[in-house]
Amino acid sequence: MNTAMSLEQARFNMIEQQIRPWEVLDARVLDLLARVPREAFVPEAHRALAFADLELPLTGDACMLAPRVQARLVQDLALQPTDNVLEIGTGSGYTAALLASLSQRVVSIEIDPALARGARENLQRAGIGNVQVREGDACANDFALCRTDAPFNAIVLGGSVAEVPPALLSLLAPGGRLFAIVGEEPVMRATLITRRAEADFHTAQPWDTVAQRLRNFPAPSRFRF
């Protein structure tokens, strides 16, 4: 079997054996997974594992989320072609590529300069032009780096957090959705928060997973009285 055929077989197996069993059945998302080359966003040292059911190490302590987690979060956000999207934690740029393919524009913020540069290159090579990767600490000054493009129809946190800061929720447009992985190991919950009105937020936690922490997000006090 030549390399191209084995690559396509591995991609097919990922979709059929990992993604579909995780209740990702949206035809738009499945089509994206078949079209957007995940292997092009994986560090060369780990490219043989591009379609494996695991997180892949990037630079520093960052990780690329497992394929089924990326697919499920994209499906759960139910993006529309007119959506303005914010992603915090660009990583390799693969999640941004999926989000951009279903929305109008993605602003993606990455704290690690090397990752930001690499993600820009990956997205450019993949021909995805509606993602703006910004380098910086999204959490600084009450999310000041994110505010210039708010409100957002969707916000994605590319790693786990102990809790979702209220200042971040304020950047959602009415009807906007925020996806985050919330909690402490060994139990974290995929969390989808929808802004139904100015001060009306609905929270759902439809599935469990574990993911690497995002840097500099506030952690609640561990002291109990």
- The Cα–Cα gap between 43 and 38 comes to 11
Structure token digits, residue 87: 């992603």
Tell me the average pLDDT across 108-119: 97
Tell me the average pLDDT across 64-92: 98
Q: Binning pLDDT at 50, 70 and 90, where does residue 225 land?
A: very low
Structure token digits, residue 53: 């059911």
Tell me the average pLDDT across 33-52: 95
Whether pLDDT at 31 is above 90: yes
Whole-model pTM over 0.85: yes
Residue 218: other Cβ atoms inside 10 A: 12
Report which DSSP code applies to 138.
T
Contacts of 53 (CB under 8 A, 6+ apart): 14, 18, 66, 67, 68
pLDDT in tens, 176-195: 999 999 999 988 999 999 99
Whether pLDDT at 3 is above 90: no
pLDDT for residue 2: 62
User: How much is the mean pLDDT over the chain?
Assistant: 94
Tell me the average pLDDT across 202-223: 87
- The Cα–Cα gap between 104 and 200 comes to 26
Fold of 3-209: Rossmann fold (3.40.50)
